[in-house]
Every structure is written in structure tokens, then in C-alpha cells.
Amino acid sequence: GLALTKLDGTAKGGIAFALRRELELPIRLIGVGETIDDLREFRAAEFVDALFGD
């Protein structure tokens, strides 16, 4: 699966779905900070909420 990092801004966030579709691999982890300890399990619903707001 994919581990995505450096997704600080919403403009970069949309690339996650394009990569998933193009590579046909699931997104497993997403980076929410600067260190390895900042990797979190990817949850699509939470990611979409963060992109578009509540």
C-alpha cells in the first residue's frame, strides 16, 4: 500500500486519490507531522472531511 507524507495543504491532498487510482494500491498511512511517529492509519472519511471541511 501507499504511505503519503507532506500533505500539509488542501491543494496537495487531492493527489492522494489520483495516486490511488493510477497505481491501484490502497492508501495505508498518512503523515500528519515531521517524524515517523506522526504516521497514522489512513481513514478516507476523515481525509475528505479535512479537505472539504465539515
> Residue 30 in 3-state DSSP?
strand
What's the N-to-C CA distance of the chain in angstroms? Answer: 28
CA atoms within 13 A on the CB side of 14: 3
Q: Which domain holds residue 16?
A: 2-52
Q: Is 5 exposed, middle or buried (0-12, 13-18, 19+ CB in 10 A)?
A: middle
What domain count does the chain have?
1
Q: What is the pTM of this model?
A: 0.71
Residue 11 has a pLDDT of 57
Name which of 32, 54, 36 is nearest 45 in CA terms: 54
27-53 pLDDT, tens digit per residue, is: 999 888 888 998 999 998 988 888 787
Using one digit for the tens of pLDDT, what is the confidence trace for 3-33?
988 776 555 677 888 888 999 999 999 888 8
Q: What is the pLDDT at residue 46? A: 87
pLDDT at 23: 93
| H or E, element range at 3 | strand 2-4
